[in-house]
Structure 1
Amino acid sequence: MKINQTVSRQQGLSLRIVQTKKFKTNQFVFKFRSRLNENDVTARALIPYILQSSTKKWPTTADFRSHLDELYGAGASVDVNKKGEYHILSFAVDIPNERYLKDPTPLAKEALNVLKEMLFNPLLEGDSFSPKVIEQEKRTLKQKLQALKDDKMRYASQRLVEEMCKGEAYALHPNGSEEKLNQVTAEELYKAYRNMIEKDTVDLYVVGDVDSEAITSYCQKEFHFPEREPVTKPDVKSINTTDAKEVVESQKIKQGKLNIGYRTNIVYGDDDYIPLTVMNGLFGGFPHSKLFLNVREKESLAYYAASRVESHKGLVVVMSGVEPAKVERAALIIEEQLQAIQNGEVSENELNQTKAVLKNQMLETLDASRGIVEVLYQGEVADAPVDIDRWFEKVDAVTADHVIAAAKKLKKDTTYILTSGEE
């Protein structure tokens, strides 16, 4: 399976066009990437939502939605997340392919016009964004941050990261903090916006049945990003685990949380990264994995038990929901599952099943245009370009010995327990 991607670099922008007749719509996605930084992460988290809420041409959300409706129900969305120690801001437009319509409206050009308006023509009052829009988006972000505290599964995941990566940029939540949100000024917001336009690494992905020459020409004429220095690559491998630590927090809860963080020093693009993903599938990534079958099903110790790989930070994280009285026993059984893999308890059936699920997962991801963007961007962030055929070959080539070697790289760093404080 080939992804037909052409890349052209112009002033301040990498344009990445993926030609495919697979979809009835065309996807346009801007990705802005900067290093995670405590000083501006909260301000940056507001920027996409402010830019989507009000532009000179469409001063209200209703105006913007009305315009999208006129473009045969085009969709626009923004997103804020992190990959390793990078802060990623995304702006996307999904629009019907004009080749399927009788109307001659150049919809691909209209999609780019929408993105241009969002990025370069925000509604300003004086030298900053509209105070009304700022307050509106601050309220919305505050609600998101409060919702994180209320969702104990997500809260425990974030608290583990904060404790495990204390002093590292990765400890920051991509949406920032409530404390900083209350302090951020209009001037700081506008400065964060200008820094995004002038200093971030910028990629534009276009996926669909499009006229590549016309899109390239449009971008050269209309998207004027200043030249910039490359964003420096974070060093995520030089942190060594000494003594594992345990953090216990008490709240009024019925279901406790037991989350465990391991350092691997294996990141996306490394030779042993794919063996690590297969190992994680065996350990806790899927319903057939050891954590699910033994911690949840056999021992009935957890409401849920799973693990995931933090691809750009070199971590494996275990997440489980456990009755407070059973935390100690659950921690022991979780550790036994990892030790079982390290000791070679990997059957051919388990290995083949895990590979099959991983490959199916990738095929499902590539079945959506946004999925194609995310797979390609994953490689771009890691400076490890994606070759899909080669990826499938590498998964097939993973042996039990590779999995065992990857499992032995896991070093326990931090255990985070959220409990009721009652036995």
Structure 2
Amino acid sequence: MKINKEKMIEKQGYRLHILQSKKYKTINVVAKFKSALQRELMTKRALLPMILQKATSSYPDTRSLQAAMEDLYGMVLNSDGTKKGEDHVISFRMEVANEVYLNDQTPLLKKALGLFREVLFQPKVVDGGFDPKIVNREKQTLEQKITSIKDDKMSYANMRMIDEMCKGEPYSLHVHGYLEDLKKLDEKDLYSYYQSFISNDLLDVYIIGDLENIDVEALMDEHFRRDSSEVNQDDGNEKQHIAVSEPKNIVEHDDLNQGKLHLGFRTHTVFGDEDYFALQIFNGLFGGFPSSKLFMNVREKHSLAYYAASRFESHKGLLLVFSGVDPKDYEKAKTIILEQVEAMKKGEFTDEEVEQTKEQVTNQLLETMDNAQGLIEVLYHQVLSGKVIEAEDMIEQVRGVTKEDVIAMANKIELDTIYFLTSREGGEQE
């Protein structure tokens, strides 16, 4: 698969990333706002995109804003907030039909960008704040999100493990924010923060699609240039190398039938490091695919887990293992999971398994990059890491990983935290 190279240009108040491709019948624009993770901002940043998508100065309610998008051949707009290493990123995504493929001559991209700009830069303001009705409604929605995490025991166990594993580190902060902060927030507080956010967050804007015969730079400048931002430079957070002295054992009790056994490891490797691609293959062999050691040994061979898998955090250097086990099988399951780590350290896997996993990782990467917004996510890794790796080079680097590279990675990984959420009558399995 031929992947066009992105063109990145420093503009006034933002960085523009252009990807020309005839592959897509739509044009995708993604605006990514990045700021350092801070406890006092998490709830505001969780609520903000929810508010901005509900009304603008010209479209004062959800119905009129939705109708305006429908008029633009069903333009789609969505947003989310995520943790990436020690940063918080709010993404606004827009997708619109490419006018090249339409019969009429509507300047669709220009109109869609105008609406997108209004959502970001011209929100509905009432008496020096956001619309209180919208704020109260969205606060209720966010409150439900925060409280419902407790009901999804797998997500809750993962959150609690990160709380304990990364205590004192920005990464431990909760992406949906905190109830005690939400209760105190009002429309004026939030609007005051919005003004700081919209001027000062590091902004990267991606546009991807068939852009021939369009003056993309002029068009994007018209909609995204920020006069208040004299610079849009990334100071970058220093990578934290956390040494593990003794693994933590945390046992907590709740009303559940299936125990949640989660393990957290420090990989000491992030995107941009030379051994990052070896980490991808390690994860694939260890717990990333149905053919992996965790799945085959913990779940299939010993029938000790309802599920067993692993994933890694590209910008934080964490490897996380998830498993659902019967509370009485805690010790056995933990032992067998840790045995799989030792097997990886000793190289107890074949060259054929390495090749098969490289193929799986490559296919996964190609599938992600086959989607316009997936490709943008892959390319944004470069912004976060400050390391430029062309999309095609990523695939070559995956294919270049050897068994020895994977063994070296396995021996670099350190167990940090074992977290077990068990039934109230499950007993103390320390």
Query: What TM-score does the superposition give when structure 2 sets the normalisation length?
Result: 0.96
Q: Match for residue 172 of structure 2? A: 171
Structure 1 position 60, deviation (Å): 1.2
Distance 1:212 1:114 in 2: 22
Structure 1 position 336, deviation (Å): 0.2
Distance 1:147 1:421 in 2: 20
Q: Match for residue 150 of structure 1? A: 151
Q: Work out whether residues 113 and 223 of structure 2, in 8 Å CA contact, stay in contact via their aligned partners in 1.
A: no
Matched, 1:387 2:387: no
Structure 1 position 288, deviation (Å): 0.4
Structure 1 position 75, deviation (Å): 0.7
Q: Match for residue 13 of structure 1? A: 14
Structure 1 position 212, deviation (Å): 7.0
Q: Which amino acid letter does the alignment assign opposite residue 45 of structure 1? A: A
How has the CA–CA distance of structure 1 residues 189 and 212 changed in structure 2, closer, same or farther, with 3 Å as cutoff?
farther
Q: Work out whether residues 12 and 232 of structure 2, in 8 Å CA contact, stay in contact via their aligned partners in 1.
A: no
Matched, 1:376 2:379: yes
Q: Work out whether residues 135 and 186 of structure 2, in 8 Å CA contact, stay in contact via their aligned partners in 1.
A: no
Distance 1:387 1:229 in 2: 22
Q: Match for residue 366 of structure 1? A: 369
Distance 1:401 1:197 in 2: 47
How has the CA–CA distance of structure 1 residues 198 and 212 changed in structure 2, closer, same or farther, with 3 Å as cutoff?
farther
Distance 2:129 2:225 in 1: 20
Matched, 1:327 2:322: no
Matched, 1:347 2:339: no
- Long gaps (5+) in structure 1: none
Matched, 1:406 2:400: no
Q: Match for residue 293 of structure 1? A: 296
Q: Match for residue 25 of structure 2? A: 24
Q: Which amino acid letter does the alignment assign opposite residue 2 of structure 1? A: I
Structure 1 position 11, deviation (Å): 0.9
- Long gaps (5+) in structure 2: none
Which secondary structure does the structure 2 equivalent of 1:366 belong to? helix
Residue of 257, 261, 272 corresponding to 1:258: 261
Structure 1 position 211, deviation (Å): 4.4
Q: Work out whether residues 108 and 210 of structure 1, in 8 Å CA contact, stay in contact via their aligned partners in 2.
A: no
Q: Work out whether residues 117 and 224 of structure 2, in 8 Å CA contact, stay in contact via their aligned partners in 1.
A: yes
Q: Match for residue 221 of structure 1? A: 222
Distance 2:312 2:139 in 1: 32
CA distances 1:336-390 after superposition (whole Å, capped 9, x unpaired):
0010010111201211111010000011111111111101111211112231222
Q: Match for residue 124 of structure 1? A: 125
CA distances 1:78-129 after superposition (whole Å, capped 9, x unpaired):
1111111111111111000100001111111122111110111100012110
Q: Which amino acid letter does the alignment assign opposite residue 168 of structure 1? A: E
Which secondary structure does the structure 2 equivalent of 1:337 belong to? helix
Distance 2:224 2:382 in 1: 24
Structure 1 position 6, deviation (Å): 1.2
Q: Match for residue 286 of structure 2? A: 283
Structure 1 position 227, deviation (Å): 1.8
CA distances 1:31-65 after superposition (whole Å, capped 9, x unpaired):
00000100111101111111110111111111111
Structure 1 position 232, deviation (Å): 3.3
Query: What TM-score does the superposition give when structure 1 sets the normalisation length?
Result: 0.97
Q: Match for residue 193 of structure 1? A: 194
Which secondary structure does the structure 2 equivalent of 1:242 belong to? coil
Q: Work out whether residues 262 and 316 of structure 1, in 8 Å CA contact, stay in contact via their aligned partners in 2.
A: yes
Q: Work out whether residues 31 and 90 of structure 1, in 8 Å CA contact, stay in contact via their aligned partners in 2.
A: yes
Distance 2:307 2:185 in 1: 38
Q: Work out whether residues 286 and 306 of structure 1, in 8 Å CA contact, stay in contact via their aligned partners in 2.
A: yes
Distance 1:393 1:4 in 2: 15
Q: Work out whether residues 15 and 232 of structure 2, in 8 Å CA contact, stay in contact via their aligned partners in 1.
A: no
How has the CA–CA distance of structure 1 residues 17 and 173 changed in structure 2, closer, same or farther, with 3 Å as cutoff?
same
Matched, 1:239 2:246: no
Matched, 1:136 2:137: yes
Structure 1 position 159, deviation (Å): 0.8
CA distances 1:196-216 after superposition (whole Å, capped 9, x unpaired):
211111011001012475231
Q: Which amino acid letter does the alignment assign opposite residue 331 of structure 1? A: K
Q: Work out whether residues 344 and 404 of structure 1, in 8 Å CA contact, stay in contact via their aligned partners in 2.
A: yes
Residue of 315, 318, 325 corresponding to 1:312: 315
1:76-115 equivalences in 2 (<5 Å): 76-115=77-116
CA distances 1:314-348 after superposition (whole Å, capped 9, x unpaired):
11110111111111110000000010010111201
Which secondary structure does the structure 1 equivalent of 2:245 belong to? coil
Which secondary structure does the structure 1 equivalent of 2:134 belong to? helix
Distance 1:83 1:39 in 2: 17
Identity %: 44
